[in-house]
Copies of this chain bind each other. A is one copy, B any other.
Amino acid sequence: MPLSEYTLRRRVMFHETDSAGIVHFSNYFRYMEEAEHALWRAAGISVASRGANVGLPRVSAAFDYHRPLQFEDEFDARIRIVSMREKSMRYVCVFTKGDEKIATGRVTVVCVSKDQDGVMRARPFPPDIASRFEVSAEAEAEA
């Protein structure tokens, strides 16, 4: 059955904080990507072994920061597929710590492969990838 979301529980590591005493804002993008890859693993496909000729570069990425995270905080990163097209997909990822909303991220990735002259070009997701994912019902309701 195709998957549309995944919730990753994560603890803040010391090396992810900065001298303001909170998680550096750039690390939220890493957490979001970790949730994305956990979703792919849950769907039965490793991003690592997706084949040498398919890449998933980011087209855009953004975060709105609501509250800080500190060293050893545990939080949930819930990532959902909000759009799935022939050659690209979009995710929304909400971080929460208990009842508190911490941050909201968005990322768009495109499926590419290298053509014969070594240039990356957008291409349709291979069927074995596309068939494993679907847009979350929530996203459809919102649309």
Contact bitstring A1-36, B, C-beta under 8 A = 1, else 0: 000000000000111011111101111011001100
Question: Are B62 and A57 closer than 8 Å at their CB atoms?
Answer: no
CA–CA, A64 and B47, complex, Å: 22
Chain A: residues with Cβ within 8 Å of the partner, total of 38
Contacts of A24 in B (CB 8 A): 14-15
Q: Is A46 an interface residue (CB 8 A)?
A: yes
* Complex CA distance for A34 and B18, rounded to whole angstroms: 14
Q: Using Cβ atoms and an 8 Å threshold, which residues of chain B touch A26?
A: 15, 26-27, 29-30, 33
For residue A85, CB closer than 8 A to chain B, the reply is: no
- Beyond A25-B58, A48-B72, list 15 extra A-B contacts (CB 8 Å): A13-B30, A14-B19, A14-B33, A17-B18, A18-B19, A20-B55, A26-B29, A26-B30, A41-B72, A46-B72, A47-B71, A57-B68, A60-B62, A60-B63, A61-B63
